[in-house]
Structure formats: C-alpha cells, structure tokens
Amino acid sequence: IEAALTDGPLKGRRIVITSGPTHEPIDPVRYIANRSSGAQGTAIANALVRLGAEVVFVSGPASAPPPLGVTLVKVETAQQMHDAVMQALPADAAVFAAAVADWRAASQSAQKIKKTREGLPTLSFAENPDILAAVSQLTEGRPGLVVGFAAETDNVIEHATAKRARKGCDWIVANDVSPATGIMGGTENAVTLISADGAEDWPRMGKDLVADRLAERIADALTGKD
C-alpha cells in the first residue's frame, strides 16, 4: 500500500464515492430502505486507494465492511448523503455507487406509530434529492469525471443510456439485477460501461475485478490516457 500511495497513477487525485443504501425514517423504529450491501462501492474505493487516490467514502448503513485508507463519512438518509457529497467537493472524480432511496416519508412521526382499531396508517412520500444529477449539472466545481450506476431489471442498455443523458453524467455503469441473474447480494457482477463512445459489455466477473477495471479506467481518464 505504501508504494501505491506514493507512486500510483491517481496520486494527488481526490475522488468522492457514495455507497450503500439510505434509510429514510418513518418513525423512531421504522424506515424505508433500498437493497444494497455496499460491496461494489467498497471494492471500488479499495481499488482507487490502491492506485493512490485520496478517497472520500460517503456511506449509508451498509453491511459490507468499509474500505481502508479512506475518509469515511457515515450517513443515514439521502438528504444527509447529498449534503455530505456537496461538502466533500471539489474533487477530480465522483462515483455514485449508492442505492439511494428515491422517496422519503413526507413527514416523520416523533412517536412510534401504534396499531389502532381505526384501521391502517397511510404513508405519503416526498422525493429525495438526486445527488448524481445535482453533481453532474453543477455549473461551478463539477468534478471532471462523474460516474453513475444504473441497476435495471429490463431493457438495461436502453434505460441506462437514457439515464446517462437525463442526469448529465459522463459514464453509467449499468447492470442487470433481475432476480434470475443472482447478482443482487452476490459476489459477481456483469456490467456494461456506457459513455459518450457507446456501450461496452464487460464479462461477468467478481465485484472486486469489476472494481479494479473501473478504477483503471478512471485513472486512464484522469491522466489523459483515455
């Protein structure tokens, strides 16, 4: 690690990564969440650190162990993740591997919601900030390379290509998370890298290898080799 930190191609580069799920409280004992172990985000952070990057790792409540050698910022909600990312800028690159909850409860109960004889509670939702879109569309202080993820269950390339355009990010790492692939919660991933140059399918491989390959590509892009 010593050698990587001093000699790596990403020496002196600052990279912000989001990872894990977010939890959106309903009341003091309940929350809405997305499924995410944080494993892919941790693997990407470790790979970037090995290439010498200074990494700020903004993580929701993930089950995967956090990466080593990063500045770890722990958050709970999407709003907190948004604020932490904005505070971590400027950066040379930003990688949005988090599974951010799209909605939060419109209002939180300060007390535990109790079962009553009157019937079922109703939840109303408010939309969370889109952190990837917000950073991609910054007019001042936008990272030079903004990478998003798109976990889709159908028409993966089409949805992910539209997502890239809508959000304004540079790359989208798309993957098929339909249950039949067994990718959600597993150790492997099969991704397609979507950039201005089109869609590039990567073979199915371990999440650590996906991370290594993505880190290499980020290093190439930041050092002008790509």
Choose, by CB under 6 A, the member of 40, 46, 128, 192 that binds ligand CTP: 128
> 96 vs 171, which CB is nearer to Ca ion?
96
Structure tokens at 24: 């959106």
Choose, by CB under 6 A, the member of 151, 215, 219, 222 that binds ligand CTP: 151
Choose, by CB under 5 A, the member of 27, 102, 152, 216 that binds Ca ion: 102
Q: How many helices (H) and strands (E) does the chain have?
A: 6, 14
Q: Which amino acid is at 112?
A: K
Check 34, 155, 175, 189 and give the catalytic one: 34
Helix 39-50 × helix 207-222 angle, to 10°: 50
160 binds, options Ca ion, ligand CTP, none, Cβ within 5 to 8 A by partner type? none
Q: Is 34 a catalytic residue?
A: yes
DSSP 171: E
Residues 156-175 that bind ligand CTP (CB under 6 A): 163
- 11 annotated binding-site participant: no
Q: Is 132 in the site for ligand CTP (CB under 6 A)?
A: yes
Rounded CA separation 41/189 (Å):
12
Residues 19-78 that bind ligand CTP (CB under 6 A): 78
Contact window for ligand CTP (CB under 6 A) among 48-56, 98-106, 114-122, 206-214: 98-106
> 9 vs 195, which CB is nearer to ligand CTP?
195
Rounded CA separation 25/42 (Å):
24
Cβ neighbourhood burial of 124 (10 Å; 0-12, 13-18, 19+): exposed
Which three-class secondary structure state does DSSP give residue 52?
coil
Q: Is 76 in the site for Ca ion (CB under 5 A)?
A: no
With a CB cutoff of 8 Å and minimum separation 6, the contacts of 114 are: none
Applying CB under 6 A, the residues found at the interface with ligand CTP are 18, 78, 96, 98, 100, 102, 128-132, 148-151, 163
